Amino acid sequence: MRRRLGDRLLFGYVWLVMLWLFLPIAVMIVFGFNDTQSKSNVSWQGFTLKWWGRLGDYPELLDAVYNSISIALIATLITTVLGTLLGLALGRHRFRGQGATNLVMFAAISSPELVMGASLLSLFVSAGVQTGYRTIVIAHVLFSVSFVAVTVRARVVGLDPSVEEAARDLGASSWVTFWRITFPMILPGVVAGALLAFALSIDDFVITQFTSGATVTFPLWIYGAVRIGIPPQVNIVGTCIFAVGVLIAVVNSVTARRRATA
């Protein structure tokens, strides 16, 4: 059977977009194996694995990566709990100040990072709070909580309230109803929100720059290294982070498919 022209065009277009998306990532991965001699890692010199063994050449880089990951984990945990509660409240109940809450959430999502970073800095300074690890966590929770709340709210609004009523009717207390019925049903939204929060946190630069004090994260370290040339170890760390992301995406789609067919 011959494919129609439209199908072929669509097919070509999809591959163009994929190429567009993957080219920079491919370059990042490939240059982690570049046998470069100079400080700058921009021209291909030949294949080597030696950088994988020399990750320890830059202890500050490893510290920065550790900071980024631990900040992202802590911020994601706090954000997911707060955002889920917020999403439940906004999706389920009508309360005084609901409109204002929605407005503030939207403002937090749409306001430029520069504005938020600068205002956070002046807030911390005027409140006499020493900027550092803790203020980065606070800032990351702040800018990602709205994203979690919005994804959870979308899930909550789509729930049939009589499903929870049925659980109550069958003898479940409100506590049991939440953990056995409501939470499993909004879980996909919670997981999506958590992944989003983690992704936002781990590579945030602008707001982190304003609120970091003496603490250095992975993006901040790269920015600092630009002047002296970015070593191939950065590409390797980037490759690892990308690989973890791919792994999560694959696991997510496999479990989603299994859930659908189970």
Partner 1 sequence: MSNIQAGTGAVAAVPDLSPVPAIELDGVVKEYLARGETVQAVKGVSLGVAAGEFFSLLGPSGCGKTTTMRMIAGFEDPTRGVVRLHGRDVTDVPPNKRDVNMVFQSYALFPHMSVWENVAFGLRRKKVQDAEIRRRVGAMLEIVDLTGREKRRPREMSGGQQQRVALARALVNEPRALLLDEPLGALDLKLRQAMQLELKRIQREVGITFVYVTHDQGEALTMSDRIAVMNDGLVEQLAAPREIYERPATAFVAGFIGTSNLLSGTVERVVDGTAVLPLAGYGRILAADAACEAGATITVTVRPEKITISTEEPTGDVSAVRGTVSEVVYLGTSNSYAVGLPDGAEVTVYQQNAHDSSTTAERGDSVWLSWQPHHSYAIGS
Binding site for partner 1 (CB under 8 A): 160, 162-163, 165-173, 176, 180-181, 184-185, 262
Q: Distance between CA 151 and CA 69 in Å, rounded?
A: 23
Location of structure tokens 């010199």 = 45
DSSP string, 197-262: HHHHHHT--HHHHHH-TT---HHHHHHHHTTT---HHHHHHHHHHHHHHHHHHHHHHHHHHHHHH-
Kindly state the smallest distance separating residue 196's Cβ from partner 1, in Å.
22
Query: For residues 156 and 225, which CB has a smaller minimum distance to partner 1 in the complex?
Result: 156
Cβ contact 92:156 at 8 Å: yes
Phi, psi (deg, nearest 5) at residue 2? -85, 135
CB of 193 to partner 1, least distance (A): 18
Q: Which is nearer to partner 1, 122 or 174 (CB)?
A: 174
Cβ at position 163, least distance to partner 1 in Å: 5
| Choice between 157 and 163, CB closer to partner 1 | 163
With respect to partner 1, which residue has the nearer C-beta, 4 or 258? 258
CA 177/CA 171 separation, integer angstroms: 9
Kindly state the smallest distance separating residue 81's Cβ from partner 1, in Å: 21
Work out how close the CB of 207 gets to partner 1 at its nearest, in angstroms, rounded to a whole number.
37
C-beta closer to partner 1: residue 125 or 163: 163
